[in-house]
Amino acid sequence: MCGRPALIENPASAPLVWPVGALCRAIADALEARFNPVAVRGEISGFSRASSGHCYFNIKDAQGQIRCAMFRRAASLLGFVPRDGELVEVRGRLDIYGPRGDLQLIVESLQRAGQGALFEQFLRLKAKLESEGLFDAARKRGLPVLPRGIGVVTSLGAAALHDVVTALRRRVPHIPVVVSPALVQGAGAPADLVRALLNLYHLAQDGSAREADPTIDVILLVRGGGSIEDLWAFNDEAVARLIAQSPVPVVSGVGHETDFTIADFVADLRAPTPTAAAELVAEPRDVWLGALALAGERLADAVTRQLDARGQRLDLAASRLGRPSGWLARQQAHLGQQQQRLRYETLAQLERHHNRWRLREAEFPARLQQALTRSRERLDRAERSLALLDPRLVLQRGYALLSTAEGRPLSSVAQATPGQPVRADLADGELALTVQTVRPG
């Protein structure tokens, strides 16, 4: 930048000779004192945005043009994308760009011409509703994971409706969509938006809708982009307050990514476009089917592990069984009860999960039925294995269990004496015997 001018006297005519940079700075200081800050109206020409984020363009009319520079910080606050030929009002300060000696306007704010009054109204209403807490994050609700129905408020002739319906049909064709049409532009649009929202509110409250109507769990308020005048219905106070009273979450998808309305601030969530609003409430069906399949596999694995563990317990109990006595009969009865209880609990648990997932998706029950069939086959094999351990099968092959008259088992000749009465248990009854001779092996 230039410093203070260094004045050099010319001996011939004695004018002041300025260094170029100093003269540029002096002119810039004069402009600052005489004009700044300055507001200018004109058409945009040659608009470009550099990779740094700075914007450069000319603003012109029939009599002249001024080079403009809008630095990244100010450009990031733009609510629209400037286009060549667009009539705008800019505010900033005049300056001299020393390296080229160009007059330029450093733009601090830019808006479409004629929007000043509307923008002032927008700011006043925004401040009012914000002070009342309508924008507070604490009152915003999360979106439903699996909505039973989706409501849409927009114009029947709007491209936004086509975009939203296309996205929902592609991602969640099984979820019903209810369109409540409304004007989205013009003097009658605010009242029409209020009516359309109220129609969906009736469907959003359980028990208030007709039996044939779907229950709405989330509402999309959408329309395409436009000027501040085009979007003004979404800056209406009555519309904003009604959105805040919605019984279900409201997603606002009004305009393009750079457009902001009062409805965006009041809604539970703002989407940059109508299509993005639809995608926020519509997790693709394939994602849920994959989750259901994974849950089914984990459930089948858990059942298998339970059956294996119970089978080991049955095997251990069977290995500890002694001769066929009253104790054996009691243990067999207890094991039978446990077996039946295991079967009923397992089948009941599988049936409950089966019914629950069947309500979510028609494709899932087949996988669960296969797991149930495998579980039943495992249980049947466990029953057959337990039956093979029954001591009575051994007795049927000609063996006998010997015990004293008091019921103590005889497992060695050392426990018997001649003339001692003993009892032999056979497969079909018992014999009373007397020891004649004891011959140790």
The tokens describing 288, both together, are 């849920």
Same domain, 235 and 268: yes
Give the C-alpha separation, 67 to 6, whole Å.
Answer: 29
Whether 146 and 272 share a structural domain: yes
* Same-domain check for residues 361 and 413: no
pLDDT of residue 1: 42
Kindly state whether residue 27 falls inside one of the protein's structural domains.
yes
Same domain, 380 and 396: no
Asked if 75 and 153 sit in the same domain, the reply is no
- Averaged pLDDT, groups of 10, the chain, 441 residues long: 47 67 75 76 89 90 88 85 84 81 84 70 91 94 90 92 92 91 93 95 69 84 85 94 95 84 94 91 73 79 84 75 59 78 80 71 63 83 76 74 85 85 86 84 68
CA–CA separation, 250 and 200 (whole Å): 11
Q: Which of 348, 367, 390 is the last residue of a domain?
A: 390
Q: What's residue 5's pLDDT?
A: 46
CATH label of the domain that carries residue 76? 2.40.50.140
Asked if 275 and 147 sit in the same domain, the reply is yes
Residue 212 lies in domain: 139-283
Q: What is the CA radius of gyration of the chain?
A: 44
pLDDT (0 to 100) of residue 358: 67
Domain contains 134: no
Number of domains into which the chain is organized: 4
Residue holding tokens 């009860």?
A: 337
Residue 116, pLDDT score: 59
Residues 232 and 276 in one domain: yes
| Whether residues 345 and 377 fall in one domain | yes
Q: Which of 113, 129, 163 is the last residue of a domain?
A: 113
Structure tokens at 166: 């296309």
Residue 1 lies in a domain: no
- Closest by CA to 253, choosing from 229, 220, 281, 279, is 220
* 234 shares a domain with 165: yes
